[in-house]
A = this chain, B = another copy of it.
């Protein structure tokens, strides 16, 4: 099923912070990880991800560093900062409040 892209707005940062919360990753890897966990409901585009990663680094939510993979290829890895973890908790909470509210609106009187 294809999800209306407008619906996904506002949740992207939550997804990124979530996948980085337990493991450092590079950009392309995050896309694959989000695809996998969502069972391909999401297929985030590079044009979406990279600008967000850059903004998150600028905001201090993430730190990036360059490292060589086993193949010898240079990659840009990202790790979550303490501020990023705080933001993740806030966004998780917001997500619960938001989905709870929608669910009440759509299910009352069904």
**A residues in contact (CB < 8 Å) with B:** 1, 3-11, 14-15, 18-19, 21-23, 34, 37-39, 41-42, 92-95, 97-102, 104-106, 108-110
Contacts and interface: CB of A to CB of B under 8 A. Distances in A.
Contacts of A8: 10, 98
Given A3-B98, A6-B10, A38-B104, 15 more contacts: A3-B94, A6-B9, A7-B9, A7-B94, A7-B98, A8-B10, A18-B105, A19-B105, A22-B109, A34-B105, A39-B101, A39-B104, A42-B101, A42-B105, A99-B99
A9 B8 CA distance: 8
A33 B41 CA distance: 31
